[in-house]
Amino acid sequence: GAKVNLYDGGVLIDSLTVVVLGDVDGNAAINGTDYMRVKSVFLGSFKLNDVEALSADFDGNSVINATDIMKIKAEFKG
């Protein structure tokens, strides 16, 4: 993910966080690492930062759950 800031004369006007859904580790690919991280978060053994959590919430319901795990798995398995 990335944070994009809009400035006008040095004054912050707006800010936007951009993420690729499912690409939790930010390496430009949805793969097994992303799947394992989301699964580990769901099981309580791994924590994500705010941007990673946005990417992990594949279904956009503000909760990292089994649906996110399965959707990410389906993405990288094709």
Cite the beta strand spans of the chain per DSSP E. Answer: 2-8, 11-18
What local confidence, expressed as pLDDT, does residue 2 receive?
80
pLDDT digits (tens, 9 = 90+) for 25-42: 999 899 999 999 999 999
In this prediction, residue 1 has a pLDDT band, given cuts at 50, 70 and 90, of confident
In this prediction, residue 78 has a pLDDT band, given cuts at 50, 70 and 90, of confident
Backbone angles phi, psi at 30, to 5 degrees: -95, 120
CA distance 25 to 12: 28
| CA-CA-CA-CA torsion sign (48, 51, 53, 58) | negative
A 10 A CB-CB count for 74 gives 13
Say if pTM beats, i.e. exceeds, 0.85. Answer: no
